[in-house]
Amino acid sequence: MTWEEMLPLLWPATVETAQMVGWATLFTAVLGLPLGVALVVFDRDGLRPLPALKSALGFVVNIGRSLPFIVLMIAIIPFTRLVVGTTIGTAAFVVPLTVGAVPFFARLVETALREVGRDVVQAAQAMGASRTAIVRKVLLPEALPGLVAGLTVTVVALVGYSAMAGTLGGGGLGDLAVRYGYQRFETLLMIVTVVLLLVIVQLLQSLGDWVARRLSHK
């Protein structure tokens, strides 16, 4: 295969991967952040201790995290069909990607929020700040560098998941590598795809590290 033949394959695949990862990241952030906050706030020594609720949430998160992604993807097919109406194509795979990444990100959010010193939270309580104000003005801003780092790890994991999703009909770089590299023995294309994935991951990681560093004032 020549470069002229490869480019028309590589470009759309890259766009599909970017779309899958992009949307999944967005939904993961929107759903995982509140879940992570809930895990901290409802904890026994949290702002609003509700240990039973916290255990229930923790249990759900653990289920999500213990299933291998490939199993999860297949297991939630009925749910995917319910949400997007189909189970193939890029859009359909945003659902399992999100479902897989939300518990992962929520745990990272939980860890980042726990890093915020008890003393600053108590100082805010002593100033008469409400629980909502403490979450919005203390916990989240103080944990921001950690949250960005957590999101970066999640995005990188999503790139990996999306490659897997590709093989089941989601399209993208993973699909390309399997169809051409594995099934048609196009070794060069395989290598190029692998390098491309590596470069994407590297760029995302560096970007995340840079942003986290910029936000940190320690």
Q: Where does this chain bind another protein (CB under 8 A)?
A: 117, 119-120, 122-130, 133, 137-138, 141-142, 144, 217-218
Which residue has 């104000």 as its token pair? 133
Q: Tell me how far, at minimum, the Cβ of 210 lies from another protein, in Å.
A: 18
Q: Tell me how far, at minimum, the Cβ of 185 lies from another protein, in Å.
A: 54
99 or 124: whose CB is closer to another protein?
Answer: 124
30 or 120: whose CB is closer to another protein?
Answer: 120
43 or 175: whose CB is closer to another protein?
Answer: 43
Q: Tell me how far, at minimum, the Cβ of 13 lies from another protein, in Å.
A: 40
Measured CA to CA, the distance from residue 14 to residue 93 in angstroms comes to: 15
43 or 142: whose CB is closer to another protein?
Answer: 142
CA-closest candidate to residue 39, choices 49, 30, 28, 29? 49
CB 171 within 8 Å of CB 90: yes
52 or 127: whose CB is closer to another protein?
Answer: 127
Q: Tell me how far, at minimum, the Cβ of 125 lies from another protein, in Å.
A: 6
83 by Cβ neighbours in 10 Å (0-12 / 13-18 / 19+) ranks as middle
**Which helix (H) or strand (E) element contains residue 119?**
helix 118-126
Q: Tell me how far, at minimum, the Cβ of 180 lies from another protein, in Å.
A: 48
Q: Tell me how far, at minimum, the Cβ of 38 lies from another protein, in Å.
A: 19
Query: What is the four-CA torsion angle of 6, 7, 9, 10, rounded to 10 degrees?
Result: 110
**Other CB atoms within 10 A of residue 158 CB:** 26
CB 63 within 8 Å of CB 55: no
Measured CA to CA, the distance from residue 133 to residue 130 in angstroms comes to: 5
88 or 133: whose CB is closer to another protein?
Answer: 133
